Amino acid sequence: QAAADPMSSSDAPEDGPKETSSVSQNISDADAFKILLEMKMKKRQKKPTLPSTVTELGTEDGSQVYVVGTAHFSDSSKKDVVKTIQEVQPDVVVVELCQYRVSMLKMDEKTLLKEAKEINLEKLQQAIKQNGVMSGLMQMLLLKVSAHITEQLGMAPGGEFREAFKEASKVPFCKFHLGDRPIPVTFKRAIAALSFWQKVKLAWGLCFLSDPISKDDVEKCKQKDLLEQMMAEMIGEFPDLHRTIVSERDIYLTYMLKQAAKQIELPRASETEPRKYIPAVVVGVVGMGHVPGIEKNWNSDLNIQEIMSVPPPSASSKVFKFVIKATVFGLMGYGCYRIGQRTVQFFLSMPAAQSYLQKLTEIRSQH
């Protein structure tokens, strides 16, 4: 706006040319793009002052990637994300979210806090319908871990992602990408990697999680995200599960960051003007536990087709699924039986019913 209308009518000299404002208001889109781009480049720091949680990576064509390692329940991490985006003025911001969790970006903190604490039958049914019985149960158990932290700290998860979304919208020509593998794929691959007894043991550990957590614990875990550390402690004895939930997602996040770091095309004044490309600047916002894996995979040729496939259910999965269904239907049947039994007892205890039964007995004795 300042470039399009450099002076207001009250400040313009009376004897000066009156065409100035009309000329500036007729600025072309291409010129406006160039002005905004120049403003962005001037604001972009050549040597940005970055938090200690930021890891710098580069590509062969000169693009720069700044990976902010965060703790998912940390106020300090939110500040780190804001400062990094303001300092580097990125072209793309990539966050550790997939389309199944994108709703948390636009929900307010109060609603998210309420949603995170409430794990009910409706959510369980939705998770099972979306991901299948086994993956749905796994998702709900992991949500219970998150809900436990939420209840202990009074803080909704994903604050750093919401801050990244807000700050990215303030940067001209900045795109916002979801960089995590879809949840259904992760959970289905995780379930397929476990034996029947491993599934039972993991579910038991998640169900009875109750250790107290403080905000100091979160900040102490800044070098290794609290949620991921708690999960790592529980899945440490299951290397295949660690591979699907952590290592494979390290590969996927690295791939998405490298895709975002491709050179960007500059705005053109016309179709005849030759295309010009410049190195991109990217900010990645991921859990601190993924940063070492991203660094490890950065210079490797990555193919994500293999880690996107969902293996067919194993025999143990089919048995576990049958046991779960049998248990659910058994409990429902027993519940109906108990309700029916109590209903009959209540009906028979009513005076009218007792009078009717007495008359019926008398009639039968007369015959």
Number of Cβ within a 10 Å radius of residue 124: 15
- Looking at residue 90, its pLDDT comes to 95
What span, in angstroms and rounded, lies between the C-alpha atoms of 264 and 160? 26
- Looking at residue 9, its pLDDT comes to 37
User: Tokens for 118?
Assistant: 């409430």
**Cα separations in angstroms, 227 against 113, 157, 211, 351, 365:** 16, 10, 13, 60, 74
- Looking at residue 6, its pLDDT comes to 34
What span, in angstroms and rounded, lies between the C-alpha atoms of 260 and 144? 33
pTM for the complete prediction?
0.69
- Looking at residue 285, its pLDDT comes to 97
Instruction: For residue 92, list its beta bridge partners.
Output: 175, 282
- One digit per residue, the tens of pLDDT, for the chain of length 367 reads 333 333 333 344 444 444 444 444 567 776 777 788 788 888 887 788 999 999 999 999 999 999 999 987 788 899 999 999 999 999 999 999 999 888 878 776 666 666 655 655 566 566 666 666 556 666 666 666 656 555 565 666 788 999 999 999 999 889 999 999 998 888 888 878 777 777 777 666 656 555 555 556 655 554 455 555 555 655 556 777 778 888 999 999 999 999 999 998 876 767 788 888 989 999 999 998 899 999 999 999 998 999 998 877 655 555 656 666 666 566 666 666 666 666 656 656 667 666 766 776 777 666 6
- Looking at residue 304, its pLDDT comes to 93
Least Cα distance to 287 among 249, 256, 260 occurs for: 249
- Looking at residue 174, its pLDDT comes to 93
∠28-31-32 over CA atoms, to 5°?
85
- Looking at residue 4, its pLDDT comes to 35
- Looking at residue 1, its pLDDT comes to 32
- Looking at residue 222, its pLDDT comes to 46
Question: 68, 51 in Cβ contact below 8 A?
Answer: yes
Question: 286: burial class by Cβ within 10 Å (0-12, 13-18, 19+)?
Answer: buried
- Looking at residue 343, its pLDDT comes to 62
Which sign, positive or negative, has the C-alpha torsion 198, 201, 207, 213?
A: negative
Instruction: For residue 265, list its beta bridge partners.
Output: 277
- Looking at residue 328, its pLDDT comes to 58
Q: Residue written as tokens 């939420």?
A: 150
What span, in angstroms and rounded, lies between the C-alpha atoms of 81 and 128? 34
- Looking at residue 40, its pLDDT comes to 82
What span, in angstroms and rounded, lies between the C-alpha atoms of 65 and 58? 6
Instruction: For residue 285, list its beta bridge partners.
Output: 68, 95
Question: 145, 194 in Cβ contact below 8 A?
Answer: no
List all residues 6 or more positions away from 301 whose beta carbon is below 8 Å from its beta carbon: none
- Looking at residue 213, its pLDDT comes to 56
